[in-house]
Amino acid sequence: MKINRIDHVSINVNDLSKAKEFFLDLGLEVKAEWELEGSQLDRIVGLKNVKTACVGLGMQEGHTWIELVKFYPPSDEIDIQQPFANTLGIRHICFAVEDIGAIIAKLKKKGTEVFSEIQQYEESYKLCYVRGPEGIILELAEKIT
């Protein structure tokens, strides 16, 4: 028995189109879009009367797959929480990027919250954290060559 790879990361959102636009602006591409509902989905996710809309996003030349999921019923009664970088649990997704400066400039123009200016970590990476729609935290990392 072994684990071969991470298949995908799922992110639940309330505004599917806004989250989709954010990831498209980063350079991901839509790989698939679909809706699901019914008793089988109810059993899979452990909820009743579930209906979802989903967008699968990935890179042109890669295996990374992010699913953005909008649940219609049932809705989350707590609503959007704004986690911090040190909040317990799964907290951020890191993308290896090229030209981090250009990406950050583009995101700032669109009003994306940037945690700090680009920081250099030792002699290996330039790093920056950003917060996308609905509290999604991304780390951008450019390898220094």
* pLDDT tens column, 86-140: 777 778 899 999 999 999 999 999 999 998 889 999 999 999 999 999 889 999 9
Q: How confident is the model at residue 44 (pLDDT cuts 50, 70, 90)?
A: confident
Higher pLDDT, 84 or 48: 48
User: Is the Cβ–Cβ distance between 26 and 140 less than 8 Å?
Assistant: no
Would the pTM count as exceeding 0.95? Answer: no
